[in-house]
Amino acid sequence: MKTEEILKSLCQSGGISGDERKIQDIFVDLISPYCDEFQSDVMGNVWARKKNAQGKTIMLEAHADKIGLMISGITDEGFLLFAEIGGYDKKIMPSTLVTVFGKETVHGVIGSVPPHLKKKQKFTSDDLCIDIGMSKCEAEKIISVGDLAEFDTEYTPLLGERAAASAFDDRAGLAAIVKAVELLKDDSVNVVAAASTQEEVGCRGAKCAAYNINPDVYICIDVCHGKTPDADKNVFALGGGPVITVGPNVQPYVSKKLISTASDFKIDYQIDVDSGNTGTNAWTVQIARMGIPTGLVSLPLRYMHTRYEVLSLKDIDLTAQLLAEFARRC
């Protein structure tokens, strides 16, 4: 299956933190041609492996959840108040089209006080609301507190083997895992492909999945910031290949093996020097059980946590190749 087809199907399937069921079903469908054992847990994590696989257990994990909104109230005028699930840049929210999942699915626009009427420079979520074009009485019939909402976006191909959509963080990681397992379809390596939950609200699901799987080596696949004009040095080139992290959040021998694998197979790669918390599931999985040997591979991503993120499809393929060759060497 083509990388773009995999990524598109993963990006258009909901999956806000705490409600990942639909995206997990799609992940299982995509990976089922290459695996025959599937498990899940109370947290909603799912993982897949081959029967009778041999050797060390290599856990490849990416988080399935994405950021979103939760309805917290309805004003007297019929506007929907909301709380954030995960982190947004408030500046990009006004005038954004959203889909609200109530008893009926409705569309709305995030609104705020017009700039020329505002007295303060900055605004918070309390200054924002969702306009669905209904009165309070009408809205209460189909919308309830606790209903979820998300950005209304479509997967859009761009020039230069790039694409734009929401939730590339971290559906791109899931796509790389699917492609890696496809590359390993004729191998007997003991790879466990995991899609975890609730990363965006505290890196919660992966730790539980790792406890159950108890791998010999764990590789987290996530995203990092892609280079844009005037960006600082802590960003990475789209199309430059996977980003391998070095630092205390990863075991040195794992990162060295990832780097040597990329070098030996002439896979383009980049290095991220991270001296502390990487802000990924690697941070929590590393200290699961008695400690799990951990590595972190990231895909460069522009405009993270906005309505449209941008990445290179080439980076997904290169990441998949790196993961497959690494697994063969373990």
Peptide bond into 170 cis (omega under 30): yes
For β-strands 54-63 and 80-85, DSSP reports them as unpaired
C-alpha span between 271 and 85 (Å, rounded):
30
Nearest to 109 by CA among 141, 126, 133: 133
Q: Determine whether 150 is an active site residue.
A: no
The 3 state secondary structure assigned to the chain is CCHHHHHHHHHCCCCECCCCHHHHHHHHHHHHHHCCEEEECCCCCEEEECCCCEEEEEEEEEECCECEEEEEEECCCCCEEEEEECCCCHHHCCCCEEEEECCCEEEEEEEECCHHHCCCCCCCHHHEEEECCCCHHHHHHHCCCCCEEEECCCCEEECCCEEEECCHHHHHHHHHHHHHHHHCCCCCEEEEEEEECCCCCCCCHHHHHHHHHCCCEEEEEEEEEECCCCCCCCCECCCCCCEEEECCCCCHHHHHHHHHHHHHCCCCCEEEECCCCCCCCHHHHCCCCCCCCEEEEEEEEECCCCCCEEEEHHHHHHHHHHHHHHHHHC
Instruction: Name the catalytic one among 61, 150, 199, 325.
Output: 199
Query: 90: which 2 tokens?
Result: 């408030």
Residues known to be catalytic: 199
